[in-house]
Amino acid sequence: MEHRRTIIIVLSGAMSQLAIAATPTDYYKYYDTATYGTINNSYLKFNDWGYKGPTGVGANDFVVTSTVTGITGFDATRIGQEQNVRTLPADGLTPDARYNISSEYSYGDDYRNASMDNVITFDGWGYSMPESYFNNMQIDRAGNYYVPKSGMDFGFVDMFNYEDDGANVPLEPYGYPQAGAHDTIINFQPYGISDGKGWCGSVLASGAGETAIMAGQITFDIVFDVYANDGDPSTNSNPAPQVIPGLIMRSYGSYEITTELVGGERQTFNGSAVINNTNPLSNPLDENGEIIVNNNPALDAAYNNRVSFLGADVIPLGAWMSADSYDEFGNRVKDPITNRWLATVVPEGTPGAVWHSNGFGGKAFLMRADGERIVTFTGGPNRADWTDYAPEYIGLESLSPVPVPAAVWLFGSGLLGIACAARRRNDT
């Protein structure tokens, strides 16, 4: 892909950034029956909006090579920034596409025209994203992300806060459910079973707290402990764990996930990120679907450090787990306090590996949430203390577009990650 290289002046007027405005690209993941079960014509489509991360990394990249040290991947000796992210309740501002959502086991359009703001969809069912925390998120100076699994504190999913469009929806029990909180029949507890890695574009901004376009992505292995009949970890010690290796969560671009059960229903759900520091009611994209890097009308200091993240996938039929994920009797080894499985995904053929079957293999899900980013650490007062990119240009009011060496590229659409987690918007 050929990129257009330009130098621009950012909002502060004292710094300039090199921006790559790339052509928006679709990336596809197709789901085969051997891995995911009896599904037809099923795929996940991600459109990157033309975003590129540090050194031009994109949707299929999860490590960055430093332009200063030449080291590839996360460098714990050169931490540039640390941050925490916490999710926030739905604010109702995001112009989300609405869906007819089913309640579990009914497969009917029980929740008509439901808002998808801060909603998890699972096999067409709807759940609200609970309060969750992502702590001790580290970004090295090259832009590599490290998110420890111990820092991923997903809340317990057991409610659907239904918000309809107010268009003559009858009240229960004579018609469709009324707006408000609804207790779900199936509940689940997500948790990471591997550390997250990826890239984060906050190193591309003029400052860690700047009101700038930021986004990023991470990948990690995750488990959903599923509890039927309104169960929870305190009352049910034996959930049905669903292992999803290599879940990707992003804070930029848009997802479309489509699944079709053989002889069954075809489902499609869509979601888009609301980019960090942008007003969700404004469009940060131009007429070509590319991010506007200079004077983006969506950038708004009132939404500074507001972020979102989203991820989607299909649950596979199962996964290979390490031998020490089980005790000598073949039982899952669990944390005695949280009751979560102390599991590790390994490649097929690993000595002692044990096959784990997922009870919900072939079911699709999409997760998205609004959040707030809190920067807790930067490497020092000088720019080189927290980023490898872009020298300062002092006293320049404008710069003409000129090519520059790759070592000093700074990509003006700077990406921050789920964690840099960008607030999201769902579009269909």
How far is residue 289 CA from its own chain's centroid?
Answer: 20
Q: Tens of pLDDT along 157-207?
A: 999 998 877 654 555 555 677 788 999 999 999 999 999 999 999 998 888
At residue 410 the predicted structure's pLDDT band, cuts being 50, 70 and 90, is: very low
CA–CA dist 347, 358 (Å, integer):
17
Neighbours of 276 (CB within 10 A): 33
What is the DSSP annotation of 246-286?
EEEEESSSEEEEEEEETTS-EEEEEEEE--BTB-TTS--B-
Tokens of 305: 């450090």
Mean pLDDT (the chain) is 82
Measured at the alpha carbon of residue 279, what is the angle toward residues 275 and 281, in degrees to the nearest 5?
A: 110
pLDDT of the residue at 402: 33
Which tokens in the block code for residue 345?
């995904």
Rounded Cα distance, 207 and 12, in Å = 10
Q: Nearest CA to 269 among 42, 108, 37?
A: 42
Distance (Å, whole) CA 298 – CA 303: 10
Q: Using only C-alpha atoms, what is the Rg of the chain?
A: 22
DSSP secondary structure letter of residue 323: G
Global pTM?
0.84
